A and B are shown apart, each in its own frame.
Chain A
Amino acid sequence: MALIDRLGETLDSGQGGGIILSTVDSLLDWARGKSLWAMPMGTACCAMELIAASFNKFDFDRHGTFPRPDPRHTDVMIVAGTITKKMAPAVKQLYEQMADPKWVIAMGNCAVSGGIFYYDTYSVVRGVDEFLPVDVYIAGCPPRPESLQDAVLRLRERIATESIAPDRRREAVLTLPATGDISFGVRPGDPGAGGESGAR
């Protein structure tokens, strides 16, 4: 990635670099968007739909997406299911082990916002975007396999417009907390947060 970063910076600043930059962009986008191998980060109910999407009847392979449970082989992490505070560091670590460029799909309400576990529980992370840069959100509890396939197609559309120029890259990655200091701030509604919510 470092080489591509430098290339992007050089081309973006140099005179007449824009033409080459857009050519390089379209080449890279074409190469990257075709066959997105998925890291199935399935933890709960949505994992069943993730499996269903990969097998017969829905057949994820026809989109070139293949679940590969090794982070080093994959391009997109599909976070399917509830992420608890105990699980979150493992998810973050797996995300860091994926090779650049990488994308994240938050599948299901739990991964989007905590879903049904948003209120009254003390152990659930309210959305995977608290510690990962999410590209596509899929609503549903659980979403249908078609929704997941639609999300991958949308991600491909998004990849097709990505650029390596520094000011057009996604900045979300830079502001992420490191694995060691993921702290999930206490919010109103948490037990012990002061102010009774969901009181009996």
Chain B
Amino acid sequence: MTGEIGSDACFTDRIEPGVDELVVNVGPSHPSTHGVCRVIVHLDGEVVTKAEPVIGYLHRGIEKMAENRTYLQVVPLTDRLDYVGSMYANWAYCRTVERLAGIQVPERAEYLRVIVCEMQRIASHMMSLGSAAADTGAATMFIYAFDQREKVIEAFEELCGARLTYNYVRPGGVSFEIPEGWTERVLQFCRDHRDGLELMDRLFFGNVITRDRMKHVGVLSPEDAVAWGASGPVARGSGVNWDLRKHDPYSVYPRFDFDVPTGSNGDCYDRARVRLFECYESCRIIEQAISQMQPGPIRTPGLPRLLAPRPGDAYDHIESARGALGVYLVSDGSVRPYRMKVRSPAFCNLALLPLLAEGHMLSDLVVILGSLDPVFGEVDR
């Protein structure tokens, strides 16, 4: 035995590959598969030789349904795409519609969109970190992470009345003005959240078991990350400095001062830690946005209920919590989209699973899957 207990070289080098193969089915209902992912795992002893994800268990035909809805009626459908971060799909879709129909959005609406989306990033990353921790056996961390997530969701509920499916960002603006005292409560949350993040950093990332389970597991090289189309924290964990908020700036993001955290090793630990640091940056953006925001209209006045853009197509993308989320729309001049296509970051990141899982233990598979953070509403659409 060459490796120490807990290091990645432990056990794996003692097994002769290709002796005999065991095929194990994981999912589609499994506590650690983050939804309805099914993975067919080929095992050699306990070492994964091949992991094939089987998707489609949550295929609801949202892209097809959009062809039968008017442009405004599609917004609630986009909520159900990435149900951990509904605001992103709302925004990506609305940006494409605005580009297609040539709608100008009031500045205050852009600021509100930035604030809610950065809060959504915190909520989504808390879910991701919590479940990644639960996969490694650290259930306590899930409780602390969920505590933070609940605070964001309470703020959203105050804002638009829904806890998960917000339908808040609409073509031409946002649906509601913020309630009284909301910004103060959000700023208070940002202050509390930093303490929470510090606690989680010590509790989880400083834990020796976490380090053993997550370091050097599922290493993704920067070249592979680019070649496989990975984006978001998965790419940034490998050191690829690619964030659409910085490198293809949209909305009012150029006005904010923030950093893009990147990892260096590209393992599960770095991917999870990038998410943690992104929450600090989100807090910074929220605070700047609240201080810069001016009173004004929140919706483009005089926008018709039935939008009928001129024939043509448009694509726009935003940086969601999982990566580059793009929506492509084709209009034939009628009140309904001719075709909608969602470029889902979760789908592209999940495609890395066979590459990352190969050569690791079966118990590392759930850690790798958790670090890719797929949401199956968005993978299967």
Contacts and interface: CB of A to CB of B under 8 A. Distances in A.
B165 A45 contact: yes
Q: For chain B, what secondary structure do more than half of its interface residues adopt (helix, strand, loop), or is it mixed?
A: loop
Chain B: number of interface residues, binned into ranges: 35 or more
A34 B31 CA distance: 24
A55 interface: yes
A123 B65 CA distance: 11
Interface string A54-71: 011100000000000100
10 contacts: A44-B35, A47-B35, A49-B164, A55-B146, A81-B58, A119-B68, A120-B61, A121-B64, A200-B68, A200-B334
Interface string B52-96: 000011111110110110000000110010011000000000000
A189 B29 CA distance: 30
Interface string A35-48: 00000011111011
B30 interface: yes
Contacts of B336: 200
A156 interface: no
B28 A90 contact: yes
Interface string B104-147: 00000000000000000000000100000000000000110011
Contact of B150 (A57, A84, A94, A119): A57
Contacts, number: 96
Given A117-B65, A142-B164, 12 more contacts: A43-B376, A44-B80, A44-B83, A44-B376, A51-B146, A56-B150, A69-B30, A84-B59, A119-B68, A120-B65, A123-B59, A200-B334
Contacts of B194: none
Nearest to B149: A52
Interface of A: 41-45, 47-49, 51-52, 55-57, 69, 81-82, 84, 86-87, 90-91, 94, 116-117, 119-124, 141-142, 144, 198, 200
B29 A94 contact: yes
B59 A86 contact: yes
A56 B67 contact: no
Contacts of B36: 43, 87
Contact of A82 (B58, B143, B164): B58
Contacts of B146: 51-52, 55-56
B180 to A, nearest CB: 24
B60 A45 contact: no
Contacts of B142: 55
A84 B60 contact: yes
A69 B30 CA distance: 7
B163 A82 contact: no
Interface in B345-381: 376-377
A116 B80 contact: yes
A200 B36 CA distance: 32
A121 B66 CA distance: 10
